[in-house]
Chain A
Amino acid sequence: MRHLRAWFVRIQGLFARNRRDREFAEELEAHLQLHVEDGIRSGLTPAEARRAAIIKLGGVEPTKESHRDRSGIPFLETLARDLAYATRMLRRNPGFAATVVLTLGLGIGATTAIFTVVNAVLLRPLPYPEPDRLVYIAMSFGEPGDHVFSYTMDYPAWKNHSRTLSQMAGYMRFQANFTGGGEAERITGAYATRSLFPLLGVQPMMGRTFTPEEDRPGGPPVAILSHAFWKRRFGGDPSVIGKALTLDANTYTVIGVLPATFLIPDREESNYDLWVPFAIGDTGKAKEILLQVIGRLKPGIGINAVRSDLEPLMQQFRRKRSVVVSDWHERVAGGARRPLLIFLCAVSFVLLIACVNVANLLLSRAAARDKEMAVRRALGAGKGRVLRQLLTESMLLGLLGGAVGLALAFWGKNLLIALISRNLPALDPIHLDYRVLAFNLGLGLLTGVAFGLAPALQASKVQLNESLKEAGRSAADGRSGHRLRNLLVVFEVTLAMVLLCGAGLLLKSFLRLRGIDPGYRSDRVLTLNVNLTFSQYPKPLEQTRFFQQAIARIGVLPGVEAVGAGTSIPLGGYSMSVSGMTIEGKPDTDVASSLVMVSPDYLRTLGIPLVLGRYFVDSDREGAPSVVMVNESFARRFFPGENCLGRRIQNPPRKTDWTIVGVVRDIRPWPQVAAAPEMYLCYLQAEQVHLRMSGGEMGSEMGLAIRTAGDPMNLAAAVRSQIAQIDKSQPVHDVKTLEERRAGLLAPRRVNMLLVVTFAALALILGSIGIYGVVSYSVGRRTHEIGVRMALGAHQGQILGMVLRNGLELIAAGVAIGLLASAGLTRLISSELWDVSATDPWTFAAVVTLLAASGFAACLLPAWRAARVDPTRALRYE
């Protein structure tokens, strides 16, 4: 207690310093005077009395000094003095200060920006109460990847009998056509059990959440709106509670609105438009309702206990599956960890290179300040004192760099987020919080020490005698300073090399992926999806009629070259797979293939080339023989070495009998996935080909592909209005060009690649600047020597070669170490690579060439300057 108080008083003592010093001097003076007067009173002469008093009381100055030290905090005062001095030094060298602060600011800014994302995704807990007790429960069949659960089968037993979870909830995404009040819209909602909102500790902003009656099969249809949806579709109507809305032609009553901050941290979807009770989906039919399950651990229960608790509760015949329990945050963010750590690694390399450059700059400057240091030492400053002052200077630089970096990160993070948000799970808005600020501050101090320590140590080792003599060569300028600078350059080249190799590999795999021929022509194609409300279009005939009308109307729009519809346009919609069919004459074959239903012009519109036979024609309609087209993979798989035209694909129990009339080229919608067998059916025959497997819904969900003469997006509005004219309650969604869809698929890789390539480019630039700096410094230092060499008959070419050789030796050393390091480190990104080995020799060779070329360029200018040295002037130089 008393110590604390004393410290508090000492901190106060930091202020009003001068007044206190003056007062203390007065006090001592009074003491002396009283002493002297007493002496006089006892019979001494004034002079004697004064002399005796001074002898007795001791030195005034040391007392003052110790008083000063004790009444304040000398450490802070020295720091303040050093800081003031450092500020003055920097102000006197604005060019130097700006270079250092900007270089560091760039490095720290990039690092801070990346850390901001790392913090938001990996470090910050989920935005719910007691987030560490939230678990995600999935199912495994023993193979990689997990699955969701059955609502009807597993969930009720678990919910009622679990001993390890205090709460449990399920939810599942769905899409539906929302109508009423303006344009029809395809919305994304979610089914949720009643327990979801209490489990997440969410209170509705308005109204209420589900009641037990609503969370039960056959319960009343109610809906809870998200804040954004309420604003967008209901204009933020405060009296929305109790109003009705229509989803897929069913009416729901609005019972609540969620707060704006509510979100579910999923990868694809963060803001569901609305929520309906889970039990509504449970119509009691055989169709299983699946759900994603989350739970809250009871206090004191470990995550591992949950599995053995839940597994015995699974229905007997389903026991071959196992339960996988994971931390919810880990489940959501885990996938983003590796790319984020790769970014953090890459960006810290850039920061290190920036530090190395600054260290080199400081080393050169230390040589120039040699004399200043020698004078300080000569005047009595200890080695530690000099070291401390220099470190104060470099930390000040580091902190200034940190401040610039923070500003950069603040502006840059939005750019970064716009770029990489697609790769991240939806979590809280990413912002700068105390952790980011602490990180930034720490980084500033750390870099200050990192780049300042070596030069400061170097400078504090100054040789007094040598430096004080005018012509003496200083220590920092001597052999050890030189070697340190060279080592730093080698280190820098090594870092740049590793980063460039990683970037090169990512770039190459991206180019490989992008270069894959998709098998269709993606230019000038507008695509969109229409999911007909099934209850309004339950029959394939009605579905087909709708799309026939759409195709006819769009086909006559000016600028449209061709229109096609298909259940799975490349990169969108869904594909259906069938199995259990056989081939006529090959009863043992099990035809497993994916299945797409298309309009006659679909394949032609997408530019998928015909290999054999014919495309569908308008006469392939109900009543005509059922026909099917297959792709090359199908033909190869099931008819190796045979002609498949005219062969029949059958499923006798279902009375299916399709004749193959054409073979088309494989398409490869997902570049990462190899082409597989595929069948195309003509949707004009939808009724007779009996697509019961989808409950008749298959033909209600179609994508349209429109090949246009000009920019496809120009037609978007016209196409929308044509479809609205057929039935305005059927929303059009995902209106994009085919190229956008394709690019969207590669976007995550593109972003990863771009970021790492950007960092590598920064590293290359900073590295080249570093090489340039060191070589030109050494040329400057050796001007005299070069002059002597030239006076003794060296050619310009020889001088040029000498300087270049020195620089290139450093680069070669860095490249050699960098190659080894890269070979070891690129393995860490092998999971991000595609069709490129982590030690791809071509990439490595290209990187070596690039580094060598830019290093050469960086050496060339100083070498050129050295070669043009005028010997007569150089000899006088020094």
Chain B
Amino acid sequence: MVWQGTLALMVLQTLDALGPLHGYGIARRIEQTSGDLLSVNYGTLYPALLKLEQEGYIRSEWGVSENHRKAKYYKLTRAGRKQLAKEAHEWKQATSIMDRFLTPAKEAP
């Protein structure tokens, strides 16, 4: 269960951390990072990739995988990097606010 906005952020972060990567690699990385809490299938991954590409945050080109297989590689664009910084910042802010809401006991004097 991943919702679109967060999946897009995860994709951008993955590409930022690992450099150009194919769809399978992105999916594995997200699953691994989540400690296998998330499961990414075709239906969630590829629409997100298409949308990011159409918005110009990522670019794709055909390449050869580590085991010599033809695969499409996705790469972060400059706009994508900016978007990542912006969204990561917003996300952190949002989670820290939520954190403060959900752990109020500490604040009591």
Contact = CB atoms under 8 A, between A and B. Distances in A.
Contacts of B24: 30-31, 34-35
A66 B54 contact: no
A35 B39 CA distance: 13
Contacts of A57: 41-42
Contact of A63 (B22, B46, B51): B46
Given A2-B55, A5-B54, A34 B65 contact: yes
A30 B55 contact: no
A430 B55 CA distance: 48
Contact of B70 (A24, A30, A58, A59): A30
B92 interface: no
A67 B46 contact: yes
A28 B24 CA distance: 9
Given A31-B22, A58-B43, A63-B43, A70 B51 contact: yes
Interface string A16-35: 00000001101110110111
Interface in A824-841: none
Nearest to B62: A23
B47 A70 contact: yes
Interface in A128-163: none
Interface string A478-507: 000000000000000000000000000000
Contact of B23 (A5, A9, A31): A31
A58 B69 CA distance: 22
B23 A67 contact: no
Contacts of B34: none
Contacts, number: 71
B67 A37 contact: yes
B70 A66 contact: no
A54 to B, nearest CB: 10
Contacts of A60: 42
Interface string B18-53: 000011110110000000000101110011001101
Interface string A51-78: 0000011111011001100110000000
Contact of B22 (A5, A30, A37, A58): A30
A31 B42 contact: yes
Contacts of A66: 43, 47
Contacts of A33: 69
Interface residues on A, range: 20 to 34
A128 to B, nearest CB: 48
Most buried by A among B24, B53, B69: B24
B54 to A, nearest CB: 4
B51 A6 contact: yes
Interface residues of B, number: 24
Nearest to B50: A70
B54 A9 contact: yes
Given A5-B56, A31-B22, A67-B46, A23 B41 contact: no
A289 to B, nearest CB: 73
Contacts of B27: 31
A383 interface: no
Interface in B54-107: 54-56, 65, 67, 69-72
Contacts of A6: 51, 54-55
B50 A27 contact: no
B69 A34 contact: yes
B72 A30 contact: yes
A733 interface: no
Nearest to B45: A31
A511 B28 CA distance: 92
B54 A27 contact: no
B22 to A, nearest CB: 7
A58 B56 contact: no
Nearest to B31: A56
A604 interface: no
Nearest to B83: A2
Nearest to A26: B70
A647 interface: no
A58 B41 contact: yes
A553 interface: no
Among all A-B residue pairs, the 6 with the closest Cβ atoms = A34-B24, A6-B54, A63-B42, A58-B41, A30-B71, A9-B54
25 contacts: A5-B56, A6-B54, A10-B54, A28-B42, A28-B46, A30-B22, A30-B24, A30-B65, A30-B69, A31-B22, A31-B23, A31-B24, A31-B42, A34-B71, A56-B41, A57-B42, A58-B41, A60-B42, A62-B43, A63-B46, A66-B47, A67-B46, A67-B50, A70-B51, A71-B50
Given A30-B24, A31-B24, 10 more contacts: A2-B55, A2-B56, A5-B56, A27-B46, A27-B72, A30-B69, A30-B72, A58-B42, A70-B51, A70-B54
